[in-house]
Amino acid sequence: MRTALLLLLGLVVVACSDAQPGSGRKVVGFAQIGAESAWRTANTRSIKEEAARRGWDLRFSDAQQKQENQILALRTFIAQGVDAIILPPIVETGFEPVLRDAKAAGIPVVLTDRSVEVTDPSLFTTFIGADFVEEGRRAAAWLAKTTGGKAMIAELEGSVGAAPAIDRKKGFASGVAGYPDMKVVWAQSADFTRAKGKEALEAFLKTPEGRGITAVYAHNDDMALGALQALAEVGRKPGVDVIVVSIDGVRAAFEAVAAGTLGCTVECNPIIGPLVFDVLEKIGRGETVERRIVTPGGVFDASNVREALPTRAY
Ligand code: GZL
């Protein structure tokens, strides 16, 4: 128990102000997943900046990719009696007990970015995030159009059990189902990170089947950027003899599309701070909010990336 407490204290970085719940200033606990990708960093920045703009006391924790750390942080926020909780759940399962405790404490929970599987829908107020199945479908549609419906595909999957990994896989599979000559010949989780994306594809490229791939589908840009490095190291020419498509729309991906190495990135906008605090303030006023708020996104390839690059917010 002592270790858990020490870990917890190390995790929960109390916001700079010393506002206490009930002191008039609204206090929100934000149990962030980690800092695994450029998307995540932009997401954290957006929410922190909006909290400061709106005068909220934000209690932030970085779970360093571990669900147990997220749950510890949630328990701290409940003990502190925060006014609300922002939770991007790292995986879909395992949060029901602590969400029951938050409900018992009368603390509303806003899910951002990813959703959870719970038996009681009242355990969270709303889920603000993208439609990951549609993102997977869009990636498949772009790849089918670009390859004429013929591709031997290596798939780099996100974190095991994470909603975006599950649903982006589902959406992509449904998108290629109508093309008998588009086959996913290999799939492996690389945890949404660039390093693991490079490492996983490097190993596969050493096999005969790996040498035969003509496309890579990565569940996020960071893994796709790692894949581009792995492909270049074995003499493949991304954009020429292998087509890479991914999701997120981070600046480095836009630059790779403009450079002709990454073929397409399907946007999944992490800049949701203003929307999240609009929702938190509606909840604070006792107003009802929609159960599901889908964040929009576009599809970016050589046809439109250059005009979009200068104004990208992340
Ligand atoms: C998507 C988000 C995913 C991003 C990754 O909403 O959960 O997690 O696609 C991030 O870059 O790591």
Mean predicted confidence (pLDDT) in 123-146? 98
Residue 285 Cα to ligand 1 midpoint, Å, equals: 30
Domain ranges of the chain: 2-129+270-295, 132-268
**Distance between CA atoms of 86 and 69, rounded to whole angstroms?**
15
CATH number given to 2-129+270-295? 3.40.50.2300
Q: Is the CB of 220 under 6 A from ligand 1?
A: yes
Q: Closest residue (by CA) to atom 6 of ligand 1?
A: 113
Query: Mean pLDDT, to the nearest integer, of 56-75?
Result: 98
Nearest ligand 1 atom to the CA of 34 is 12
Expressed in angstroms and rounded, the spacing between residue 271 Cα and the centre of ligand 1 is: 12
Counting from 1 in the atom list of ligand 1, the atom nearest the Cα of 163 is: 7
130 Cβ closer than 6 Å to some ligand 1 atom: yes
The predicted-structure confidence for 151-178, as pLDDT tens digits, reads as follows 999 999 999 999 999 999 999 999 999 9
pLDDT band at 24 (very low <50, low <70, confident <90, very high): confident
Structure-block tokens of residue 103: 């409900």
Q: Which residue's alpha carbon is at the smallest distance from atom 9 of ligand 1?
A: 220
| Ligand 1 centroid – CA 163 distance (Å) | 9
CATH number for the domain whose boundaries are 132-268: 3.40.50.2300
- Cβ–ligand 1 contact at 159 (below 6 Å): no
Ligand 1 centroid–CA 164 distance in Å is 7
Mutate to test the pocket of ligand 1, among 36, 39, 111, 194 (most ligand atoms within 8 A of CB): 39
Q: Whole-model pTM above 0.85?
A: yes
Query: Is the CB of residue 155 below 6 angstroms from any atom belonging to ligand 1?
Result: no
Residue type, 127: F
**In angstroms, rounded to a whole number, what is the distance separating the alpha carbons of residues 121 and 110?**
12
Q: Do domains 2-129+270-295 and 132-268 have the same CATH topology?
A: yes
Q: Binning pLDDT at 50, 70 and 90, where does residue 19 land?
A: low
Is residue 17 scored above 50 in pLDDT?
no
C-alpha separations of 197 from 59, 62, 96, 206, 217 in Å: 32, 22, 31, 15, 11
> For 276-312, what is each residue's pLDDT tens digit?
999 999 999 999 999 999 999 999 999 999 999 999 9
- For residue 194 and ligand 1, the question of a CB distance below 6 A is answered with no
Ligand 1 binding pocket includes 138 (Cβ within 6 Å): no
Share of the chain above pLDDT 90, in %: 91
Mean pLDDT (whole number) for 117-131: 97
At residue 6 the predicted structure's pLDDT band, cuts being 50, 70 and 90, is low
> Is the CB of 230 inside a 6 Å radius of any atom of ligand 1?
no
Average pLDDT for 226-240: 97
**Ligand 1 touching residue 132 (CB < 6 A):** no
What is the 90 CA–ligand 1 centroid distance (Å)? 10
| Res. 5 pLDDT band, cuts 50 70 90 | low
State in Å: Cα 158 to ligand 1 middle.
Answer: 8
For the chain, the farthest-separated pair of C-alpha atoms sits apart, in whole angstroms, at 65
The pLDDT assigned to 185 comes to 98
Q: How high is the mean pLDDT of the chain? A: 94
Question: Is ligand 1 within 6 A of the CB of residue 113?
Answer: yes
Q: What pLDDT does residue 313 have?
A: 87
Asked whether 127 lines ligand 1 (CB < 6 A), one says no
